[in-house]
Structure 1
């Protein structure tokens, strides 16, 4: 069986506290990183600077698409209670398709991926080699590729992520945007999950950045 999704009800709850192995306590802060434009409804989640990007690769986006629109991106940011000056990190990121609560979860797959092909205790996800990820519409892949060639523009955005946990790149030709975010555990492979309502409608895409899987679990709120 693949790895099950993390508990989104605690990760995306303001003020949730987690015990860290060294005795520190992590507290969740929810922050909106901007409104993601999805003109085609085809969501891509990926590293924001890793090479080998092919804008014509139609398997970049998740196989399940949503209605064209503008959707808020919410980050679950970790603050360290005993180390207030430590750099904030993002534990999870979510594209909010609806305000309706998710009652079931499924792994977000790209075309050609099948749950039946997964090895036990594994996931499909996007590889990160830069410590950062991003969300974008598939139509913005060419702009992301151009941004990767423009080191000044991308480096400025990546520096902003280091400072504020997120940043935005805006395509001057289309007005479309890319929302960049910190990956809590740095480099790795990060799964995205589709949350559905009781009626079966897509309400969000949530990416687990795996930081909290290294905690000792939640603590009572104070």
Structure 2
């Protein structure tokens, strides 16, 4: 059996407490961090520093497409107050419809076949910077421009994520944006889940940043 989805409802319940090994319980903070402009309805989730290639952008977007629009983004953050660690990302969500999800499936990119996965395995996005981002596939050239021409500014944005748990970069001309977020477990690979309503419509995408999988579970 492939990796099962987490309890996404509890991950985004403000004030929910999770037990933690060898330390006090931690609380969930939920932050509404604006809206991501999905100009084509094709969502990309990726690492901040991985180089954007000159071509082949289509393989970066999920195969599940949604109507073009601006969609609310919400972060689940855990408050670690000891030793100045601060808020760490537990999960990141793009809200497509304001209704509950009753079923979950793994978000896939072109060529990914879940039937080939083994026990507990998943397809996810790799992280080497400790941070991820949500963006439309057409915003990849914006990211590439930052990588080419604005490294100092980009470092400032990354510092904002480390301080606040998230940051946003917007292109004034196109209106496209990139919303960055802290990955609570740092470098690694993280799955994204599609939540569907009772009638099968997409209601959200949730990237589980796996921080809470290292907890002792919810305690109320």
TM interval, shorter chain, is: over 0.9
Matching residue of 1:139: 138
C-alpha separation in 2, matches of 1:79 and 1:57: 36
Q: What is the CA-CA distance between 1:80 and the residue it aligns to?
A: 3.1
RMSD between superposed Cα atoms in Å: 1.3
Superposed, 1:12-23 pairs within 5 Å as: 12-23=12-23
| Secondary structure, aligned partner of 2:58 | coil
Q: Which stretch of structure 1 is more off in the superposition, 206-215 or 51-60?
A: 51-60
Q: What is the CA-CA distance between 1:23 and the residue it aligns to?
A: 2.4
Post-superposition CA distance 1:55-87 (Å, at most 9, x none): 533110000010011101100010136x39432
Q: Structure 1 180/18 Cα, relative in aligned 2: closer, same or farther at 3 Å?
A: same
C-alpha separation in 2, matches of 1:39 and 1:108: 19
Instruction: State whether residues 88 and 183 of structure 2, in contact with CA within 8 Å, keep that contact through their aligned partners in structure 1.
Output: yes
C-alpha separation in 1, matches of 2:9 and 2:66: 22
Matching residue of 1:151: 151
C-alpha separation in 1, matches of 2:100 and 2:147: 36
C-alpha separation in 1, matches of 2:83 and 2:176: 35
C-alpha separation in 1, matches of 2:146 and 2:164: 20
Q: What is the CA-CA distance between 1:119 and the residue it aligns to?
A: 2.2
Q: Structure 1 72/12 Cα, relative in aligned 2: closer, same or farther at 3 Å?
A: same
C-alpha separation in 1, matches of 2:179 and 2:147: 14
Q: What is the CA-CA distance between 1:52 and the residue it aligns to?
A: 5.2
| Secondary structure, aligned partner of 1:73 | strand
Q: What is the CA-CA distance between 1:50 and the residue it aligns to?
A: 1.7
Unaligned runs of 5+ in 2: none
Alignment of 1:103 onto 2:102: yes
Matching residue of 2:162: 162
Matching residue of 1:125: 124
Matching residue of 2:111: 112
Instruction: State whether residues 55 and 145 of structure 1, in contact with CA within 8 Å, keep that contact through their aligned partners in structure 2.
Output: no
Instruction: State whether residues 55 and 141 of structure 1, in contact with CA within 8 Å, keep that contact through their aligned partners in structure 2.
Output: no
C-alpha separation in 2, matches of 1:193 and 1:114: 15
Q: Structure 1 51/40 Cα, relative in aligned 2: closer, same or farther at 3 Å?
A: same
Matching residue of 1:90: 89
Unaligned runs of 5+ in 1: none
Matching residue of 2:38: 38
Q: What is the CA-CA distance between 1:171 and the residue it aligns to?
A: 1.4
Post-superposition CA distance 1:128-162 (Å, at most 9, x none): 00000000000001111111222112111101000
Work out the number of aligned pairs and report it: 219
Matching residue of 1:80: 80
TM-score (norm 2): 0.96
TM-score (norm 1): 0.95
